[in-house]
Amino acid sequence: MEYIDSLNEPQKDGVVNTEGPIMVIAGAGSGKTRVLTYRIAYLIHRGAVDPFNILALTFTNKAAKEMRNRIESVVGTDARNLWMGTFHSIFARILRSEAHHIGFPSNFTIYDTDDSKSLIRSIVKEQNLDDKVYKANVVLNRISGAKNRMVSYEEYNSNPIYKADDETFGKPETGKLYQLYVERCRRASAMDFDDLLFNTNVLFKDHPAVLNKYQHRFNYVLVDEFQDTNLAQYLITRKLSAVHQNICVVGDDAQSIYAFRGADIQNILNFERDYPDLKVIKLEQNYRSTKNIVNAANSVIAKNRVQLRKDIWTTNEEGELINLIKAFSDHEEGRLVALSIFKEKMQKRLSNSDFAILYRTNSQSRAMEEALRRVNIKYKIVGGLSFYQRREIKDLIAYLRLTINHNDEESFKRIVNLPKRGIGPGTINKILVGAEDHGISLWKVLENITQFVHGKVAVTLQNFVTMIKRFELEVNRKDAFEAATIIAKESGILKELYNDKTIEGLNRYENVQELLNAVKEFVDNPENETTGLSEFLQEVALLTGVDQDNDEDRDKVTLMTIHMAKGLEFKHVYIVGLEEDLFPSQMMLASRADLEEERRLFYVAITRAKKKLSMSYALTRYRFGRLKNCEPSRFIEEVDPKYIQVDKKFSISNPILPGRNSFVSNLMKKANSQNLKKGKTISNYSPQSDFIPSDTSKLNVGMKVEHPKFGFGSVVAMDEYGAGRKAKVNFNNFGEKTLLLSFAKLKIHE
């Protein structure tokens, strides 16, 4: 166990104190993950604990996977049997086997946020409420907040405080909606993300025997990123460790950035109260960053009032000063950052993967992407819209979901008329109302469809039901990959996409194939104990943007939100868009506590950097499709100025680029400029995805195209920025048209 010797004293304390409650307050870059992994390794080696009896909870699948690998490298394949994963995935797994106790079938569906919102929209509509007042997002947040605090709808509706609260906001029916939402989820045998935690608590509360079983299974409980747990999560861990009291939580109050999701720093204080003989360890030595970065970060976080006292220090080199870049527009900001990366890369012989660009909101990635592509620097976007959020992927997944759980209403609504079968909103409504009125499930209605709808539509629906039943047989008979392939084919999804010969259609077809490949991989992966379709769906439902990385992504600059960056580190970090109203976010400026969370977010961003940090802001920025003037963020001033240098070399005066609104008038200008001569190729880049353009998706200026309405024409100019979205085309009979549509609708004649 010589690995222990490589640790400093407090780290060692965190590893060897295996019995009893322990809390490790770990400053940024202080080797928190090392403590956790070595602690688990130590338990297995020294304590001879069966990995099966250890539960380790993380916040992302990626963190879990990484930790598992690191433990495996120390203790070998024994680590396979560890219970390690996100709160959501671990308790989804437990709920599957115990669901019958709380009146759910084990094949329950996990609703994603889109499903939840769509369900709320339909409930609001059914209740004849104003959807402007009861916005799906707002209602869902309210429900989610209640669930995170373990407030059931019964409690919600009987507590006058909530009622009064809702009334002051002009939304007195929220409690009713909460109840209807829960009932509808139950009817559809579905749980949303919050339910996975809420229902686990219910399960443990109402079924002591079940709780007892898991209490005795998990002799040791470890929680990573403890500062981000909400009450529902906290209660679960407390219940599970109540017998053995061997609970270890690791976190940093200064990096708590998920209050909007119900995370509560108060949990750290509760923890001390709930476990009187708690051992507290502080890790204060930073191994990650230079002195300048550590000190700058300290100078920022010192402004926060709510925090545990910590003194983060490092013996690392002094390092370079923080580079402050000022730009006139968001486009220029992108250009300056791209140039800076290019220069640093050359001078210091670094690779793309040493760089990360961090921003407050996903929409900021656009300007950065454009700039990076122009100087030919490869990049990847982590998070944002992922593969699994694409329409065609969600369509096929809806088929799979409905096959597994026939009562999944959201999936049903999505695919009952896909491909088109002549089932419109009217019929769908009749079915749902039928279920409501008779108090029966969706599938019961479908099985007796002739009692609810008549004529041709009824026959179509009967065929639909027969098809889903056939799919179910296939799932039971064959492995997940074969079954999914059959479903993709026989549902007509593949066929429809195959017949769509447009570029977009081709891409979609390939994406569906890609999903089938993913199923295949899942089936073939020896690490998966169970490889049924249902398990695959569960994994997909709980997947996040960060979790999808492949080998092709290796040498690329990373672009992501600061939230996504927690737990990661890079040699060079660029924090972009440091402007008032953007970062700190406008919505956060209302209350002081929230501003503190924004400041913690800034702190997280700074402390991601190992060698060098750059910060940038723009004086004008497109937001909402309009050009807005911006002011530098107050956070810039909060960094002690002695750690900052203003980048003069890059502050070149540059005219503000024309607005996207003036796109049309500028197209011809562009076409005439040397940049867009005939034959110049611009890849068809889909701006809302990280999809990499393939050769088939290229369109040339001067190319002959065919449009369904205007007939034949030739491309005169194209939008250089939103490439692939807009083109100016000269049509034979209709003259020049600016096509505000995807190129996908154009057929290309080479």
Partner DNA sequence: GACTCCGATCTTTTT
Partner DNA sequence: GATCGGAGTC
Binding flag, residue 726, DNA (CB under 7 A): yes
Nearer to DNA, 88 or 282 (CB): 88
* Residue of 687, 706, 707, 747 interacting with DNA (CB under 7 A): 687
Stretch that binds DNA, among 28-36, 100-108, 155-163, 717-725 (CB under 7 A): 717-725
Distance, in Å, from the CA atom of 15 to the CA atom of 4, rounded to the nearest integer, reads: 8
CA atoms within 13 A on the CB side of 214: 25
Q: Residues 396-435 vs DNA: string with x where CB under 7 A?
A: ---------------------x--xxxxxxxx--------
Site for DNA in 2-31 (CB under 7 A): none
Q: What is the 3-state secondary structure (H, E, C) of 168-201?
A: HCCCCCHHHHHHHHHHHHHHCCEEEHHHHHHHHH
Residue partners of 456: CB distance under 8 A and separation at least 6: 422
* Residue of 212, 688, 696, 732 interacting with DNA (CB under 7 A): 688
Residue partners of 275: CB distance under 8 A and separation at least 6: 21, 245, 247
Binding flag, residue 591, DNA (CB under 7 A): no
Pairing of strands 279-283, 22-26: parallel
Shortest approach of DNA to residue 625 CB, angstroms?
3
Stretch that binds DNA, among 70-78, 158-166, 216-224, 254-262 (CB under 7 A): 254-262
Pairing of strands 698-700, 704-707: unpaired
* Residue of 89, 227, 246, 292 interacting with DNA (CB under 7 A): 89
* Residue of 585, 651, 730, 738 interacting with DNA (CB under 7 A): 585
Binding flag, residue 111, DNA (CB under 7 A): no
Q: What is the enclosing helix (H) or strand (E) of 520?
A: helix 503-524
* Residue of 485, 722, 736, 737 interacting with DNA (CB under 7 A): 722
Distance, in Å, from the CA atom of 435 to the CA atom of 429, rounded to the nearest integer, reads: 10
Q: Is the peptide bond before 419 cis (omega within 30 degrees of 0)?
A: yes
Q: Is the four-CA dihedral 376, 382, 385, 390 of positive or negative sign?
A: positive
Residue type, 80: R
Binding flag, residue 587, DNA (CB under 7 A): yes
Binding flag, residue 34, DNA (CB under 7 A): no
Pairing of strands 190-192, 220-223: unpaired
* Residue of 48, 170, 209, 624 interacting with DNA (CB under 7 A): 624
Binding flag, residue 83, DNA (CB under 7 A): no
Q: Is the peptide bond before 584 cis (omega within 30 degrees of 0)?
A: yes
Binding flag, residue 224, DNA (CB under 7 A): no
Stretch that binds DNA, among 128-136, 152-160, 275-283, 567-575 (CB under 7 A): 128-136
* Residue of 37, 86, 200, 227 interacting with DNA (CB under 7 A): 86
- Per-residue tokens: 435: 């279920």
* Residue of 586, 645, 672, 681 interacting with DNA (CB under 7 A): 586
Nearer to DNA, 424 or 702 (CB): 424
Site for DNA in 504-563 (CB under 7 A): 542, 544-546, 561, 563
> Torsions phi, psi of 464, nearest 5?
-60, -45
- Using CA atoms, how far residue 559 sits from 378, 383, 413, 565, 626, in Å, is 11, 9, 35, 9, 24
Stretch that binds DNA, among 84-92, 346-354, 434-442, 472-480 (CB under 7 A): 84-92
* Residue of 121, 186, 444, 495 interacting with DNA (CB under 7 A): 121
> How distant is the alpha carbon of residue 111 from its chain centre?
14
Q: Residues 350-369 vs DNA: string with x where CB under 7 A?
A: -----------xxx------
Shortest approach of DNA to residue 339 CB, angstroms?
23
Bridge partners, 573 (sequence order)? 356, 613
> How distant is the alpha carbon of residue 438 from its chain centre?
38
Distance, in Å, from the CA atom of 613 to the CA atom of 294, rounded to the nearest integer, reads: 11
- Using CA atoms, how far residue 373 sits from 263, 589, 646, in Å, is 37, 34, 26
Stretch that binds DNA, among 85-93, 335-343, 370-378, 669-677 (CB under 7 A): 85-93
Stretch that binds DNA, among 75-83, 172-180, 306-314, 584-592 (CB under 7 A): 584-592
Distance, in Å, from the CA atom of 47 to the CA atom of 38, rounded to the nearest integer, reads: 12
Site for DNA in 660-679 (CB under 7 A): 660, 663
Binding flag, residue 625, DNA (CB under 7 A): yes
Hunting for tokens 């993709």 — which residue is that?
488
Nearer to DNA, 137 or 158 (CB): 137
Nearer to DNA, 170 or 422 (CB): 422
- Using CA atoms, how far residue 57 sits from 54, 74, 219, 319, 367, in Å, is 10, 19, 14, 35, 36
Residue type, 287: Y
First and final C-alpha spacing in the chain:
66
Shortest approach of DNA to residue 458 CB, angstroms?
11
Shortest approach of DNA to residue 79 CB, angstroms?
21
* Residue of 342, 388, 691, 721 interacting with DNA (CB under 7 A): 721
Q: Is the four-CA dihedral 613, 616, 622, 623 of positive or negative sign?
A: positive
Binding flag, residue 241, DNA (CB under 7 A): no
- Per-residue tokens: 710: 């205007």
Shortest approach of DNA to residue 258 CB, angstroms?
7
Residue 692 falls in which region: left (phi positive, over 0), alpha (psi -120 to 50) or beta: beta
Nearer to DNA, 163 or 421 (CB): 421
Q: Which of 719, 699, 717, 579 is nearest to 658 (CA)?
A: 719
- Using CA atoms, how far residue 469 sits from 95, 402, 458, 494, in Å, is 25, 10, 17, 19
Q: Which of 582, 43, 664 is nearest to 361 (CA)?
A: 582
Site for DNA in 41-60 (CB under 7 A): 59-60
Site for DNA in 300-339 (CB under 7 A): none
For residues 650 and 325, the answer to whether their CB atoms sit within 8 Å is yes
Count of residues of this chain found to bind DNA when the rule CB under 7 A is applied: 56
Binding flag, residue 457, DNA (CB under 7 A): yes
Active site residues: 32-33, 224-225, 255, 608
Shortest approach of DNA to residue 90 CB, angstroms?
10
Binding flag, residue 118, DNA (CB under 7 A): yes
Hunting for tokens 């940049």 — which residue is that?
675
Distance, in Å, from the CA atom of 651 to the CA atom of 137, rounded to the nearest integer, reads: 41
Alpha-carbon Rg for the chain in angstroms: 28
Shortest approach of DNA to residue 645 CB, angstroms?
29
- Per-residue tokens: 645: 């240098």
Binding flag, residue 655, DNA (CB under 7 A): no
Stretch that binds DNA, among 45-53, 118-126, 171-179, 398-406 (CB under 7 A): 118-126
Nearer to DNA, 209 or 590 (CB): 590
Shortest approach of DNA to residue 142 CB, angstroms?
13
Shortest approach of DNA to residue 742 CB, angstroms?
8
Nearer to DNA, 229 or 314 (CB): 229
Stretch that binds DNA, among 83-91, 320-328, 370-378, 487-495 (CB under 7 A): 83-91
* Residue of 261, 279, 478, 698 interacting with DNA (CB under 7 A): 261
* Residue of 395, 409, 719, 720 interacting with DNA (CB under 7 A): 719
Q: What is the enclosing helix (H) or strand (E) of 748?
A: strand 747-749
- Per-residue tokens: 326: 């000022």
Residue 518 falls in which region: left (phi positive, over 0), alpha (psi -120 to 50) or beta: alpha
Shortest approach of DNA to residue 386 CB, angstroms?
8
Question: Residues interacting with DNA, by CB under 7 A?
Answer: 59-60, 86-89, 113, 118, 121, 125, 131-132, 135, 137, 193-194, 257, 260-261, 361-363, 383, 417, 420-427, 457, 542, 544-546, 561, 563-564, 585-588, 623-625, 660, 663, 687-688, 719, 721-722, 725-726
